[in-house]
Structures are given as C-alpha cells and as structure tokens.
Structure 1
Amino acid sequence: MKCLPFTIRDKNGEPKTTKSVSVRSTSTSMSADRDMRTSWSELMSQNASDFSTASSATAVNPFAILSQRQSNLREFTFEELKASTKNFSRSLMIGEGGFGGVYRGIMRSTDDPHKKIDIAVKQLSRRGLQGHKEWITEVNVLGVVEHPNLVKLLGYCAEDDERGIQRLLVYEYMPNRSVQDHLSSRFQTPLSWTMRIKIAQDSARGLTYLHEGMDLQIIFRDFKSSNILLDDQWNAKLSDFGLARLGPSSGDSHISTLVVGTIGYAAPEYIQTGHLTTKSDVWSYGIFLYELITGRRPLDRNRPKNEQKLLEWIKPNLSDMKKFQTILDPQLEGKYSLRSAQRLASVANRCLVRHPKTRPKMSEVLAMVDRIVEAMETGSPKAPLRSVATNDELEKSRTERFKRRFLDPITGEMGWLVCWTWRPKLMKTC
C-alpha cells in the first residue's frame, strides 16, 4: 500500500479536510510486471518530490500532514469502471487526449443507492508509463483543492494485472463539453456574448483561487479553452491539472521547470527561460480572452499565413474602432455589446504585456472582469460631452483614446509584440 496524504489550509490558517490517496498493487509472477511495479513505485516517490518544489533541503513540504483524516476520494475498482462505461465503448467516448480517452459512465450514488449519477472516466494508456506523473499530479491537486470553478474529482483507480497497469480518474460529468468545442463550430448554436463574459468570469475565479485562495500557490501551466468545461448550468470549470506545479517557495521569484504546455498559450518568458510563475497563467488567460472575442484559436495552421497566429492577426486591428469590430467572432452575428468587447480586450491586453512583473494578479483581473459583468447587467450611463466639437474632431479623439487604451499595453515598450519566439522542440503539445 502506497499512501500520499495531504493537508491544506485556507487563508485564515484553518486546516481543511485532508485527503489521503491510496494506490494498490497486486502481486504477479511475470518479470515484466515486476519491473513495471518497481517503476510505478519509484515514479510515485519522484513525482511527490517534484510536486513539492522545495528550493532547499530545509524547505517545508506544503503538503505535510498536520492531522490525519479520512480521504474524501473514492477508490474504484477497474471492474466497476469497466461496467459503468460498457467496457469503455467507443460510443461513450467523449474526448481523447495524448494520454488516453475519456468516457461517459453511469454509477449508483454512494449517498443514495437508488439514484444513478453520470460520471466521466479518464483512462490512461496501458502501454508503458506515459502520463503516469500527470496522473499522480492530477490526484495530488484535485485531492486537496475544492472550488465551484474547478472540476470535481470523485475518485480514482490504480490496479495492475497481467494486462498492465490500469490508471483511471473519475470526475463529475460535464454535459456541455469544453469551451473550445463551442468556439470551433462543433455545435450548431454558438456561445452568446453574455455567456462568453460569464465564462471569462468563472475561469478567472478558478485561477484566482489556485493562485491566491489558499496558503499555497498552484500554477495551472496548461490554461486553454479545451481545459475549460461547462456543466449542465453552463458554469465554467477548470480541468486537467496534470501539468500543474506548486508556486515558488518563500523568497523565490519563480520555479524552473521543463517547458511544457500547448503552443499558442505559453508565456514568452516561460518558453525562453523555463522560469514559471503565476504570471504565466495570466498570459494564457489573456490569450483565452481573445479566443472568446474572436472565436479563433491562438495558432491555426489552416488559415492564411498572415492569420495563423492570433496575436499577430489582431494587432493591426486594435488601433481603430471600426477595425476592432472586424475581429469579433462572426458567429455572434452582431449580437454583442461593443463596449463590453472593448473593455474585455483591454483586460486581455493588460494580461499580455511583455514583462511578467507588470501583468496584474488574477485577483485584479477578476475585479476588472467583474466590473464588465456589472456594467452589462446594470447599464452604465454615458457621460455628457463637455463641449461641442465637429464630427471629424470627435472621431479623431475617439481613435486616439482607443489606440492608447488597446494598442499600447499589448505592444510593450518597444512598440511591437514579442510573443512568438517559439521553441517547438521543447514544447509538449496537448
């Protein structure tokens, strides 16, 4: 029996429920399986050490146990999950990633045996140990955090037999799929503008909690539209924490890691140096806001060459109000608030400044998005003109204000975007 226990404290210093994750191994006579079990055990230890990101020998592991409590995560058997997904039927597959497939399943509720609940089961590939560290990290993160805008992990399964190691994760089912699915025209009805603003607000709440809502700091490191899922009430929740890392220890400005993530979302300083901070997530959030505004992916090789990179395409259209309207998602069919779109672009530009230290914290970003939502709900009165001016003068004044507000923050001190110095060989696409 291998146990990974954790304790977390909220901002007030009060200990929250500790969740202890147990992973079982069964014996087998095959030498290949013995080797695999050894690697499994070693990687468990290695990953727990890596996730703590201690900067010195005396650093305190933020997951150290302060009080032993019963785990809230359920340990499923492989046979249970096999039955719930009809032997992992392709007809029930709702997603597929680099480490395996995700299936919809049905199980009886532990609270009410007469009630059935929908679940999502992620099955990692049984071939080798690819994705093992991500699996462990996912359990580590979702085993200690809980927030309305984070997908809930219900339990896990870890068994090994003659077929290899079975590694599965069981989540709450999110019936409305991912934000990327809706932006990529997979659904006939596109997301409304009001819904997009709400999604921006929900995802900002989730990131703010990870960065600032606990006495430890978690960097998501793979924030993107496909990792933002929508529940039956269209609430947005962050998912897939396999690449998450704890923030730097006290006194450190960053942690150094292998550059991984998804091309198009990673912050330029992280790509160039491997230095990871919460401001890397802030950059990714800014990219995501422009996804909501334009309906386009950060990098789309299927578009004309001058339109493949989202930030390069939008840059010439930010200095003029009429040009700005041309970048808004045509699927909206003009049904949007131009003022709120401009304000959301302004927030995105604040997140996309070149120097990470000058980017806002996620709590500040959330406050800005909250004000946009409030203005849309109540309607903000327009200030009267102080003097009479000609139409040409008014247009010129509006253009200059728009240019200062939207173009300057994103172009940085040198007056141009520095965001596409990619190193694909270092990146792991997801």
Structure 2
Amino acid sequence: MFVPVNALNVMFSSMNNPSKLDGWKSSGGDPCGESWRGIKCSGQAVTEIDLNNLGLSGSMGYQLGNMKDVTYFDLSMNNLKGDIPFQLPQKLEYIDLSGNELTGGIPWSIAQMSQLKTLKLYQNKLKGQLSEMFSQLSKLKELDLSFNQLSGDLPHNMKDLSSLTVLHLQNNQLTGSIDVLASLPIDDLNVENNRFTGWIPDELKGIKKLKTNGNSWSSGQAPPPPPGQKSRRPSGSGNGYGVHSGIVIAAIVVGVLLVIGIVLGLIAKRKRSSPSHFFDDERISRCSSSTPLHSHELRNDAHIQIDKSFREQMSFDSTDTFAKKASTAVHSKKHKAPSEDYAISFNDNEFTEQANTKRNSTKVSTYSLSELQTLTSNFATSRLIGEGSIGRVYKAKYSDGRVLAVKKIDSSFFQRDKRQMLSDVVSEISKLHHPNIAPLVGYSAEQGQNMLVYEFYLNGSLHEFLHMSDDFSKPLTWNTRVRIALGSARAVEYLHETCSPSCLHKNIKSSNIFLDIELNPCLADCGLARFHQRTSQNLGNGYNAPECTNPSAFTVKSDVYSFGVVMLELLTGRKPYDSTRAKKEQLLVQWASPQLHEIDALDKMVDPALCGLYPPKSLSRFADVIARCIQSEPSFRPPMSEVVQSLVRLVKGSGLSGDDFSSSHRYSFDF
C-alpha cells in the first residue's frame, strides 16, 4: 500500500499541467490526503483514476506501471495523443481510454491483467495487429476496439476469453475469419465494416445483438470443419456431407504423407552430403564487395542481392570463430529460384512468427557433465569461443550438425556462497521469453561444474560485425543498425518494465548481442546479474556508467547508459575504448558526447563503412536518443520504454518500414 505520487506527477506534467485537475502537482503532494480530482484511495493506496471528459491534452506519461493498486482507470473522451504507455497498472479491472487520439498498438502489459473485466479503446487511432495477448484474460467481459485502424487476423487465443459477452470490433481493417469467436458466450457482437471473409459460424447466428454488414462474407454453403471438430452445418443437411468430408480427409492424408516423404528424402540427402563436423567443415560465404550488408533492409519482402562472385567464393576458413555475415543469405530457409543475380527473398512476418514460436516453446534440458565434455572435446582450447567476467564459453558440436554454446561459470561464484545454486539461476532465466533475448536451452550442475547451454548463433555478435570485420565482410547498413538498436532496446525494456520484479542486466555490451539468421538481435547474459554484482559490474572499459564505481549504486539507469554506448558503437563503428587512438579519442563517450548535437560534427562521426548511405534526419534523431542515454546523471536518463518509443518514432519519421518495428512482439514472463 503506497501513494504513487511520482507516477501521478509525471502524468500531470505529460498532460500539460491542466488547471482542471484540482490539487494535482507536477512534484510531490499527497493525492489521497489532499483529495486530488478524480483520485480515489483506500487508505494510502490510490485505487481509482477517473478523469473522464475533462478536455485533457498531451500524453499519459510513462510511469503508470508504478501504480500497483489501481483497479479503475478512465481517461475517456479527452484529447490525449501519443502511444498508450507500454506499462499499465497490473491490477486493473476497468480500462476506458476511448474517445481520444491515441496512436500506436495495444501494449502487451494488458496481457498480464488477469483481473481485467472491461477494456474500452474505441474511437482512437490505434494501428497494427492484435497479438496473442488474451490467454490470461479469462475474466474479461467487455472488449471494445471499434473505430480504430487495427488490421490482421483475429488471434487464435481469443478463444480463451471465456467470460466475454460484449465484443465490438466494427470500423477497423481486420481480416480473416471469425471462427475463433464461435465458442464464446457473446450476446453483443459487432464486426461491421472490416475485411472479414469466410462464413459466419452457426453458433454466432443466434446472438441477439449481431451486426456483420460491411465485410466480404462468402456466399453459399460453408465447407465442412477440419477433422476432429464438430460440424457447424445445420441439421438436416443430407448424406452428401459425409461423402464430401471423406474425400477431403483422404486428400489431406495423402498430401501430408507426400510432404513427409519429401522432407525425409531431403534429410537423407543432407546426411549423405554433409560432413559429420558441421561447423569446422561448413562452407562460409564471403563477398569481396564492401557495400553495406542489408539483410532484408527492414522491408516486408526485401531482397539480398548476391552477385556470382559471392557465390563462387564460398570457401572454408578454419580460423573463423563464427560464420561470417554474408552467410545469412546462404542459410535462409525461404528463397526463390536462383536468378541471374541470385536474389534471395525474406518475409519478415513469417520469420518473426517462426522465431517467436520457437523461442517461447523452448524447454530447458538437463545435460550430464560427460555429455558436454564429449560435445566440447573436453572443453578443448580449440572450442573456446569467448571469455567474460563470469566464465568461458565453448562450442559444443553434435555429429548430426547441431551446434550449441556452453557457458562454463567460474566455480568461485558458488564456493563463496553455499546457498547459491545453479538451479535457482536456471529457474529465473527460464522464465524470460522475448524474441530478442537469447533463450536458455539447458544446464548442467555436476561435480562442482556449473554450466548453461544456449543456442549457437552462426552470425556471431554485434561486436564482431562492427569491430572484427575483414576485407570480405559486408558492413551493416543504416537500416539494419536501427533495427538492431530497436530490437535490443525492446529486450532491455522487457527486463526492466515487464519482469516483476524488474530484472537488471548489468552486462550490456555489443559482444553480448548476437545476431540470428536475419540479423535480428538477441541479447545474451540475461538473468545473470547476481554474478556481475560480485565483480563490481565489470562491464569492460567504456561501458560502465559513472555511478558504477560503487556496486550498490547500479540501477536500471546504469543499464540504459550501457545501452547508449552500444548505440554509439552502431553510429560510429568505434569501440567503447580504443587504446590505439589519440588519447582524447580513446574513450568513445567522452569523445562523442560533445558532438552529438552538432550536425557537421555528427556527419564526421558516422561509421565510414556506411559510405554516407543514411538519412540525415534519421541520423540526428538516433544521436538524440544516444545523448539522453549517456547522461552522467542517472536521473536524467530515460526509461527503456521511452528509448523504444523514440526509436519507433525515428523509424516512422524516416519513412523506414517493416514489421520488425511493430509493437506487437509476443513475449511473456512466467513469474
């Protein structure tokens, strides 16, 4: 029970200090004891915020998630703009933000509100797709998202809204079928003026208040349901249905068997043609061109253009620790038939969906010490791929080609504190699920050896891309750098503002940001803050925030500083500390800070590898975000949610596009 006065102060300032809010202050005060307008309390805890129809302007602020006891939240019928804050009070039972000018998507924090009964967001300017955010909302009775600009299909887990009686989705741009609604107890359904297709399920036709006009419904008789589902066909449909259904089922079975045969054939062919040691004998693509590597250039169906010399120069280099950047194209799962310029097409939506499904379903396995010894050649020096402040990382190889990364934690961390158990660490890490966080695959704790097992990223780390390039490597384009910054920021935002309690990282640096097959960032070392605390937050030269000389002073704002340094690396291509440079340029932050707001100086700071290929406006805004993150005073640094929002605005303002930048990433936290 507490008064969230700081959150209300920020909210008041964000709404331009409206005079109508009697008693409210931009600093300090007692909203319960002083009877602030629209505030209701229980003791010293704010439980209700009702500011309906007061002509309020500005935005909603960014600390709403700190109001832990608020259950009723009504800001409807005002003139509020901007995105709905990423974090909202988690105990909310009633939310009404309708009748404003709110933009962006629906924040994921709503997915965690297990007590929510009413959600009204109608008559705003919300965009994007509805994510799989409904699994925990079993108490939700009324959902009104009408008169927005929402698009895409209805998420599958809307079927979990077991208490839903009122659903208004009219006047959006939603697509696909509405079959997912068939089993819900809805008695008031409005889906008018969307782009829905298919047939209206029979179960919905008896609803008293049903409005379906303005869609592209199919005419004629509906097809039979998939095998195992009950028929929605009205009674007395005749014997032809059974025959037709049997034909469809037979066709499906034959098709599935055919696909299985093809897949098995490809696997057998791969085993015959592939060497037993996948990584060491892997063919690594190299490219003599120095033009920036653009992956899919942040577009929905962009291409990587690979010339013939690139394909002909595929060769093995045993000194490589990671597959080089150009291998992204070679390892793509989805590609077109080779053309004269060897174009390979990536679909962002499909890849993101596959990646999220894979990561969120990862199970943590237990490995025996002997198994890991075998896979790492008894932790041979030749298998060492990295060394940090808490231990070494080794490459583990299976005979079938699978490659994993094994982090061997220094035993001293456990010897100092007998209560410290690896199982506790694993339990915490396994609860982290985010598409931009490296997932934990397994662990081993035998004979005093404590190891964590992760996926192995063939494209290596951001540090390698930026600072260990060779003449055959393609540098990252500006668009890809922005995407890496945004994805990494989302990961840190998740740790800070979605996890409860907040999860510090304490080791944010470019060598802990790995890049997957399409150069999407994956933040590593998450959940290991307890070990870095024992090393006084040894983040390496150049990453430490000024306050980190005192280990106890480390906060989320210290992580923000380290992230700002990573953004500086993306901007300049320089290391955080480089002893080979002139003394005044050795520390990147000290050298760059005074120049971030000078246009001419900023142009000279940009990584020469970009060859001037970047939008000046985007560059300036990127530098503004950096400048805020690396402020010497922690309180002046923004929360990560603001960093994410700034980067999203940068993307929109620069005309960049791609579903990479949507705010509907799916992730969860299982505490």
Q: Shared topology, TM-score over 0.5?
A: yes
1:80 matched to which residue of 2? 371
Higher relative contact order (CA 8 A, sep 6+): 1
1:259 equivalent to 2:536? Answer yes
- Relative to structure 1, the CA distance from residue 310 to residue 82 in structure 2 (aligned partners, 3 Å threshold; closer, same or farther) is same
1:12 equivalent to 2:12? Answer no
Residue 286 of structure 1 deviates from its aligned partner by 1.4
Asked whether the equivalents of residues 159 and 167 of structure 1 are also in contact (C-alpha less than 8 Å), the reply is yes
> How is 1:346-385 mapped onto 2 (pairs within 5 angstroms)?
346-378=624-656
Q: Deviations over 1:350-378 (max 9, x none)?
A: 22233322322111110111122233444
> How is 1:4-403 mapped onto 2 (pairs within 5 angstroms)?
11-13=112-114, 72-107=363-398, 117-125=402-410, 138-160=425-447, 165-187=448-470, 188-241=473-526, 243-244=528-529, 259-262=536-539, 263-271=541-549, 274-378=552-656
Residue 158 of structure 1 deviates from its aligned partner by 0.9
Asked whether the equivalents of residues 503 and 527 of structure 2 are also in contact (C-alpha less than 8 Å), the reply is no
Paired residue type of 1:361: P
* Aligned counterparts of 1:149 and 1:378: Cα–Cα separation in 2: 20
Residue 156 of structure 1 deviates from its aligned partner by 0.5
Q: Deviations over 1:319-356 (max 9, x none)?
A: 53222111111122222222211111101112223332
* Aligned counterparts of 1:260 and 1:207: Cα–Cα separation in 2: 17
Residue 258 of structure 1 deviates from its aligned partner by 7.3
Q: Secondary structure at the match of 1:157?
A: strand
- Relative to structure 1, the CA distance from residue 360 to residue 205 in structure 2 (aligned partners, 3 Å threshold; closer, same or farther) is same
Asked whether the equivalents of residues 287 and 298 of structure 1 are also in contact (C-alpha less than 8 Å), the reply is yes
Q: Secondary structure at the match of 1:265?
A: coil
* Aligned counterparts of 1:292 and 1:185: Cα–Cα separation in 2: 14
Asked whether the equivalents of residues 220 and 245 of structure 1 are also in contact (C-alpha less than 8 Å), the reply is no
Q: Secondary structure at the match of 2:432?
A: coil
1:66 matched to which residue of 2? none
Q: Secondary structure at the match of 2:393?
A: strand
Asked whether the equivalents of residues 221 and 244 of structure 1 are also in contact (C-alpha less than 8 Å), the reply is yes
* Aligned counterparts of 1:97 and 1:268: Cα–Cα separation in 2: 21
Asked whether the equivalents of residues 11 and 213 of structure 1 are also in contact (C-alpha less than 8 Å), the reply is no
Q: Deviations over 1:220-257 (max 9, x none)?
A: 111111111111221101112365259xxxxxxxxx98
Paired residue type of 1:183: L
- Relative to structure 1, the CA distance from residue 365 to residue 245 in structure 2 (aligned partners, 3 Å threshold; closer, same or farther) is farther
- Relative to structure 1, the CA distance from residue 124 to residue 316 in structure 2 (aligned partners, 3 Å threshold; closer, same or farther) is closer
1:416 matched to which residue of 2? none
Paired residue type of 2:377: K
* Aligned counterparts of 1:374 and 1:90: Cα–Cα separation in 2: 47
Bigger Cα displacement from structure 2, 130-139 vs 81-90: 130-139
* Aligned counterparts of 2:463 and 2:416: Cα–Cα separation in 1: 23
Asked whether the equivalents of residues 138 and 241 of structure 1 are also in contact (C-alpha less than 8 Å), the reply is no
Q: Secondary structure at the match of 1:363?
A: helix
Residue 271 of structure 1 deviates from its aligned partner by 2.8
Find runs of 4+ consecutive structure 1 residues off by over 4 angstroms: 13-16, 125-138
Q: Secondary structure at the match of 1:94?
A: strand
Bigger Cα displacement from structure 2, 314-323 vs 274-283: 314-323
Asked whether the equivalents of residues 149 and 236 of structure 1 are also in contact (C-alpha less than 8 Å), the reply is yes
- Relative to structure 1, the CA distance from residue 137 to residue 240 in structure 2 (aligned partners, 3 Å threshold; closer, same or farther) is farther
Asked whether the equivalents of residues 137 and 244 of structure 1 are also in contact (C-alpha less than 8 Å), the reply is no
1:42 matched to which residue of 2? none
Residue 288 of structure 1 deviates from its aligned partner by 1.4
Residue 79 of structure 1 deviates from its aligned partner by 1.6
Asked whether the equivalents of residues 173 and 231 of structure 1 are also in contact (C-alpha less than 8 Å), the reply is no
* Aligned counterparts of 1:182 and 1:131: Cα–Cα separation in 2: 37
* Aligned counterparts of 2:468 and 2:575: Cα–Cα separation in 1: 12
Asked whether the equivalents of residues 443 and 452 of structure 2 are also in contact (C-alpha less than 8 Å), the reply is yes
Structure 1 runs not aligned, ≥5 long:
1-8, 17-70, 109-114, 247-255, 380-430
Give the TM-score taking structure 1 as reference length.
0.62
- Relative to structure 1, the CA distance from residue 137 to residue 128 in structure 2 (aligned partners, 3 Å threshold; closer, same or farther) is closer
Residue 200 of structure 1 deviates from its aligned partner by 0.2
- Relative to structure 1, the CA distance from residue 258 to residue 121 in structure 2 (aligned partners, 3 Å threshold; closer, same or farther) is closer
- Relative to structure 1, the CA distance from residue 318 to residue 168 in structure 2 (aligned partners, 3 Å threshold; closer, same or farther) is closer
Asked whether the equivalents of residues 11 and 215 of structure 1 are also in contact (C-alpha less than 8 Å), the reply is no
Residue 131 of structure 1 deviates from its aligned partner by 9.6
Paired residue type of 2:429: L
* Aligned counterparts of 2:635 and 2:534: Cα–Cα separation in 1: 19
1:3 matched to which residue of 2? none
* Aligned counterparts of 1:229 and 1:155: Cα–Cα separation in 2: 18
Q: Deviations over 1:384-418 (max 9, x none)?
A: xxxxxxxxxxxxxxxxxxxxxxxxxxxxxxxxxxx
* Aligned counterparts of 1:176 and 1:131: Cα–Cα separation in 2: 36
Q: Secondary structure at the match of 2:402?
A: strand
Indicate the percent of aligned positions where both proteins have the same amino acid.
36
Q: Secondary structure at the match of 1:219?
A: coil
Asked whether the equivalents of residues 593 and 627 of structure 2 are also in contact (C-alpha less than 8 Å), the reply is no
RMSD (Å), alpha carbons: 3.2
- Relative to structure 1, the CA distance from residue 361 to residue 319 in structure 2 (aligned partners, 3 Å threshold; closer, same or farther) is closer
Q: Deviations over 1:59-86 (max 9, x none)?
A: xxxxxxxxxxxx9421100121122223
